[in-house]
Chain A
Amino acid sequence: MGFSLGEYQDMFLEEADELLQELNQNLLKLEKNPSDDEIINNIFRAAHSLKSSAAFVGLTDLGDLAHKMENLLQGIRDKVMKVTPAIVDVLFQCFDVINDVIREVSSGNPPSKDFSSLIKKIESVGKQGNIQEEKKEAPAPKRIQLSTNIIKDIRDGINNGLSCCEIAITLDPDAAMKSLKVQLVLTNLEKIADILVTIPSIEEVSMPEFDNRVQIILLTSATVEELKKACEVDQVTRIDLRKIELVKKDNKVALKYHEQETLFEEKPEAGTRARDVEEDVIPDEEEKDEIIIRSKDDKKTLQLRTVKVSVEKLDQLLNNVGELVIANSGFYKLYEEMRRLNIEKSIINEFKNRMEQMSRIAKDLQSGIMKTRMVPIGQVFSRFNRLVRDLAKEFDKKVVLEIKGEETELDKKVIDVIGEPLMHLIRNAVDHGVESVEERRQQKKPEIATITLNAYQGGNQIFVEVSDDGKGLDLKKIKAKAIEKGLASPEMIANMDKEEIYNFIFTPGFSTSDVVTDISGRGVGMNVVQETVNELNGSVAIESEPGMGTRFILSFPLTLAIIPAIMVRVQRELYAIPLSDVIETIKILPEEITTIEGHEVINLRGEILSLIRLNNFVGIESGLKGNERMPVVVVGYGNRKIGIVVDLLEGKQEIVIKSLEQNYRTVAGLAGASILGDGSICLILDISSMINKVIMQQDTFSFKEKQRVLGAKQASVEVVKTEVATKEQPVKETVDMQSKKEIGETLLAKEMPIKEDIVFKKEPEEIVEVEEYKEPEKNYELKRGKDTVIEEKVHNVLEEFKTELKEKIKDTLDKKDEIYQKLGISDEDLGKVQVLANVGITDAAESLSKIINRRVDLSIPDVSVLAIESIPQSFGDVDSVYLGVYMPIVGQINGTILFSLREDSGYELVDMLLGLPQGTTDTLTEDGESVLKEVTNIVGSAVVNAFADKIEMAIKPTVPSVVHDYMQSILDSILAFHTAENEYALVMDTEFFHQDDRVIGKLLIMPTTSSLATIVERLRN
């Protein structure tokens, strides 16, 4: 580090940073309530402290700037100036400049800023802001006219336990540089007191009218002696002090001046001042109060009572306490041993008592130290007020930032790094999330958008939310971008739920923004968000509703040092899997494992789950016998998951993470080690690296192979509930309660997508049955019983869900008339459409017959308008694999033409057209694909041309694509892409046959809803 301000640098930087925060906050408030005295005073005080500490470390320029700020603020405070936007802006500029200086200094550079222009600015706005020019009181007034503000200050100060007094110092009339002397006194006093008024002001001291006497009213906690010392400056000839108190009189609070006490007098003057009564002050006939002096409860000592401790030291302590907790658990073992050995009961009981006492103390110590690491998130949140204000100005939007849960405490480590991801989320919210005032007005939303920052604790997690009431995420845009970027194929996307699609926005370089602004749109921010959160073992979830807004929910474990983990064994070796990575634990039969290209997989509820055998991963033989059910821990990272086959599920345990790097180096596949209660070491698996390894292989699996597995029977999964592993778990009660909750969550979550987890965790008490802890030995049977109960429950829930789904589908199918009405079409219209479809499809059949050089029969097109979600059902055989060729149509009519063929008839067609013997083609080759595309192109164009002719509109087919998948997926991907914005679609469904009545394929024509309206309108005319 080059530049340094000496030993107080760190202290100064930290303090300055805090003060700046405070200043920013208060100035924002002042902008809204320009007349709030309290805010003005707070600002003034902070500016003042900043000035003093800058001067203290030798940053005199900065001190000067702060001084000018202070002057400006004093004007506002004393009501000689008004808070104008110009003043606020200048002050914000000052804060920014000071902030820059602090940054420079903390990075070891000397401050390079020149403040002169800014100082000029301050001076000029100061003049403009003046309400009355020079509302100076008569020089050296004998009576101090206290403004109501000052009286209020005095009252507040006294209420806060400070003492108020007036000090009068008299200078030697012959003294040189009187203002300097006075300044010196003031500077001294400032260190121990808050100076409220100085009369005459320091500027007036140098004027000829100065009568060598300065009266200072101040609030302090210092002793008379200390005050006296502060005033004892060379050539000060006399110091007088009067205590000021609050008294109630006629329901009014008045200030009462005590009798003056002369603390110091060089040459006793004749005729002591007899200025006892002022304005709202009653003379004091009582005793001379021995002034002041509280040693407790006052501000100054309070400050001394907090100690700043480095996080490293706390970490070290926490580590040690972790060891203590663990070491302590060794006693439980000893206790069990003693019981077995038939040692005298009373000794055992005494031992037990002591042991439990110690465990309690250790636990308290642990949570105590953990708490010291916890910092309220408010200080992070409040920084964003300024950001939102500036961003809103920049984008010309109206946004307020609402802050909730600022008292929620997070681990210091999280607090330190959470700022950046939050900043990105807020920037995005202002830039992309929130609409312009105009748009909002059109949508009848409040003109002022709200961005909300919220933090709260739920179970073992802390949640931090950033939400806006803007337009919501654009699902369509994200999908399109994901495909454009090659992140997923259309069919993959069709199978994804909303949350999975939202997750694409975390991909590096992913931005749906058309315009890259300074603020956002580069697609970097969201990636930073996810990376940061992942580093903290947290996760991000997104909820978004079009037109309603978007909510990002960041969740973090309560503490980072101790994590819950599932303990597993391979032979005798014990490994820990962090619970945050675990989705569920199941048992499967060995025969249910199949292989794809040598890799083991199972069909887990219709999903391919790649397996990794832990024994292979750690390089030893498995201890499993061939025929028994194998425990599998299903783990997830991001939206990928795999199953880890282990020999034995040991249970759950809280572990302290130790790095392997400290004495060795990182080891592939291991996240670290942990020392257990008995002193043995267990290794912690690095799930993300394991998954990455397996997933890379999985991605190379061919479609056909995947199908084979998915076509096979689903594995008969037995869900295993993981109990708390160890009998000697030291912090039984709490840990068990927590683990019960988590087990509940894991069980419930198992039928849900991973991300749903978070929704549950928010309010765990609603869904979790919390059981009392039971002695492990008795627990065994209960556990069994509970398993089956839970299985039943899950089963029931699934059944209900299915029934509900069926009814929903039935509903939509029955709604035909309703749909027609809604779209404003009649059966007659539809009849016309059918005629049109007939023409188009006859043309299509003709071209098809020309291509294959055979006669082609066709069914009469079935024309209907269907709700999007029921289209797959109307198709019939959605669970078979088809070759689907879809061709978007664009122009005045938009939509999709889908030519779908069963695999065999598709291959037959390919053979036919390539002139190969029938039965040659049995997979979809590149040639086959282009043949199918060409056929669809010709058939589709025929339809399009017929339509275009008939309704006299410009319609154009575009390039067809081939999808080889289940019909359901094919339809999903089309529906997702071409009719996503519509609720309904016109479906024209025709089947083509060979001469011998064998089906060739189906042709579906699906214009979008709006196009449908266009068609209907044209046909009516």
Chain B
Amino acid sequence: MNNELLNIAAKTAESVIDDTDSLDILQLVSFKLDEIEYGIDILSVHEILRIPEITRLPNTPEYIRGVINLRGNVIPVVDIRLRFGMQQVALTELSRIIVVEIGEKLVGLLVDNVHQVIRLSRSRIDEPHDLIEGISTEFISGIGRLQDRLIVILRLDNILFSDEQ
């Protein structure tokens, strides 16, 4: 885990502790897109990067932003906005790539920001439902409730490839 992740963890740990008692706790790295908060299980997060140079990969779906050099590894970067069918936005200082492990592969997810690390009791996670605008349920593993916040917990299995591939 790199510094960025630790910083976020340190900064946010105390504020979002929900249930402290059980082992049945899910830790999520969360980010926000258009006011909706998404979470990725911290166990599949490899590291979080500031945006490096991205090499465009021709002849691939639009949501593949390209490839980056991660210490000698060539890894693809998925633009989460495009993948979810949202409008693309310009990169900012806050933009990050969350590198996740999907199976054997390392994949970068391009997000607008990295918000917090959240601890969430599994009991507070609901089945995915259709409330979430626009995003296909194939990317959602559940909805977490944290005080008055709703966190869309992502399922990464289908994030890299479209069905037809």
Bound-state Cα–Cα, A145 to B140, Å: 89
Q: Using Cβ atoms and an 8 Å threshold, which residues of chain B touch A682?
A: 55
List the one stretch of B29-37, B72-80, B110-118, B131-139 in contact with chain A.
B72-80
Bound-state Cα–Cα, A660 to B77, Å: 12
User: Contact at A670–B73, with CB atoms within 8 Å?
Assistant: no
Interfacial residues of chain A within 664-680, with CB under 8 A of chain B in the complex = 664-665, 667-670, 673, 675, 679-680
Q: Using Cβ atoms and an 8 Å threshold, which residues of chain B touch A669?
A: 58-59
B152 in contact (CB, < 8 A): no
B160 in contact (CB, < 8 A): yes
Residue of A nearest to B105 (CB): A663
Interfacial residues of chain A within 652-697, with CB under 8 A of chain B in the complex = 658-660, 662-665, 667-670, 673, 675, 679-683
Q: Using Cβ atoms and an 8 Å threshold, which residues of chain B touch A658?
A: 73-74
Bound-state Cα–Cα, A353 to B58, Å: 41
B93 in contact (CB, < 8 A): no
Interface size on A, residues (CB 8 A): 26
Interfacial residues of chain B within 21-62, with CB under 8 A of chain A in the complex = 53, 55-60
A617 in contact (CB, < 8 A): yes
Q: Please name the 4 residue pairs, one residue from A and one from B, whose CB atoms are nearest each other, closest first.
A: A618-B58, A681-B55, A664-B76, A663-B75
User: Contact at A679–B56, with CB atoms within 8 Å?
Assistant: no
A619 in contact (CB, < 8 A): yes
Q: Using Cβ atoms and an 8 Å threshold, which residues of chain A touch B107?
A: 663-664
Q: Using Cβ atoms and an 8 Å threshold, which residues of chain A touch B57?
A: 660, 664, 667, 670, 683
Hey, which bits of chain A sit against chain B, CB under 8 A? 319-320, 323, 573, 617-620, 658-660, 662-665, 667-670, 673, 675, 679-683
* Minimal beta-carbon separation of A665 from chain B (angstroms): 7
Residue of A nearest to B60 (CB): A667
Contact among B53, B60, B72, B106 with A680 in the assembled complex (CB-CB below 8 Å): B53
User: Contact at B76–A681, with CB atoms within 8 Å?
Assistant: no
Bound-state Cα–Cα, A662 to B72, Å: 12
Residue of B nearest to A324 (CB): B72
* Minimal beta-carbon separation of A655 from chain B (angstroms): 12
Interfacial residues of chain B within 70-124, with CB under 8 A of chain A in the complex = 72-76, 105-107
* Minimal beta-carbon separation of A565 from chain B (angstroms): 16
* Minimal beta-carbon separation of B24 from chain A (angstroms): 32
Hey, which bits of chain B sit against chain A, CB under 8 A? 53, 55-60, 64, 67-69, 72-76, 105-107, 160-161, 165
Q: Using Cβ atoms and an 8 Å threshold, which residues of chain A touch B60?
A: 667
Given A658-B73, A669-B58, A682-B55; 11 other pairs, CB 8 A cutoff: A323-B72, A662-B73, A662-B74, A664-B76, A664-B105, A665-B161, A667-B59, A673-B67, A673-B74, A679-B53, A679-B69
Contact among B74, B106, B161 with A660 in the assembled complex (CB-CB below 8 Å): B74
Bound-state Cα–Cα, A660 to B73, Å: 10
User: Contact at B59–A662, with CB atoms within 8 Å?
Assistant: no
User: Contact at A619–B58, with CB atoms within 8 Å?
Assistant: yes
User: Contact at A663–B74, with CB atoms within 8 Å?
Assistant: yes
Residue of A nearest to B165 (CB): A665
User: Contact at B67–A660, with CB atoms within 8 Å?
Assistant: yes
Bound-state Cα–Cα, A620 to B75, Å: 22
* Minimal beta-carbon separation of B31 from chain A (angstroms): 21
Residue of A nearest to B52 (CB): A679
11 contacting pairs across A/B (C-beta < 8 A) = A323-B72, A573-B55, A617-B58, A620-B56, A662-B73, A662-B105, A664-B105, A667-B59, A670-B58, A680-B55, A683-B57
User: Contact at B73–A663, with CB atoms within 8 Å?
Assistant: yes
Contact among A319, A323, A573, A668 with B59 in the assembled complex (CB-CB below 8 Å): A668
* Minimal beta-carbon separation of A567 from chain B (angstroms): 14
Bound-state Cα–Cα, A320 to B72, Å: 9
User: Contact at B106–A663, with CB atoms within 8 Å?
Assistant: yes
Bound-state Cα–Cα, A682 to B55, Å: 7
Q: Using Cβ atoms and an 8 Å threshold, which residues of chain A touch B68?
A: 681
Residue of B nearest to A658 (CB): B74
Q: Using Cβ atoms and an 8 Å threshold, which residues of chain B touch A659?
A: 74
Residue of B nearest to A668 (CB): B59
Residue of A nearest to B106 (CB): A663
CB contact under 8 A between A675 and B72, given known A664-B160, A665-B161: yes
Bound-state Cα–Cα, A181 to B56, Å: 76
Q: Using Cβ atoms and an 8 Å threshold, which residues of chain A touch B69?
A: 675, 679-681
Q: Using Cβ atoms and an 8 Å threshold, which residues of chain A touch B73?
A: 658, 662-663
Bound-state Cα–Cα, A620 to B58, Å: 9
Of A323, A658, A663, A679, most buried by chain B (CB within 10 Å of CB) is A663
User: Contact at A619–B59, with CB atoms within 8 Å?
Assistant: yes
Q: Using Cβ atoms and an 8 Å threshold, which residues of chain A touch B165?
A: 665
CB contact under 8 A between A675 and B58, given known A662-B105, A663-B106: no
Of B53, B57, B74, B165, most buried by chain A (CB within 10 Å of CB) is B74
Residue of B nearest to A323 (CB): B72
Residue of B nearest to A617 (CB): B58
User: Contact at A664–B58, with CB atoms within 8 Å?
Assistant: no
User: Contact at A683–B55, with CB atoms within 8 Å?
Assistant: yes
Q: Using Cβ atoms and an 8 Å threshold, which residues of chain A touch B76?
A: 660, 663-664
Bound-state Cα–Cα, A354 to B147, Å: 59
* Minimal beta-carbon separation of A102 from chain B (angstroms): 34
Contact among B59, B64, B67, B161 with A681 in the assembled complex (CB-CB below 8 Å): B67
Contact among A573, A662, A663, A675 with B56 in the assembled complex (CB-CB below 8 Å): A573
Q: Using Cβ atoms and an 8 Å threshold, which residues of chain B touch A618?
A: 56, 58-59
* Minimal beta-carbon separation of A612 from chain B (angstroms): 13
Of A660, A668, A682, most buried by chain B (CB within 10 Å of CB) is A660
User: Contact at A670–B105, with CB atoms within 8 Å?
Assistant: no
* Minimal beta-carbon separation of B110 from chain A (angstroms): 15
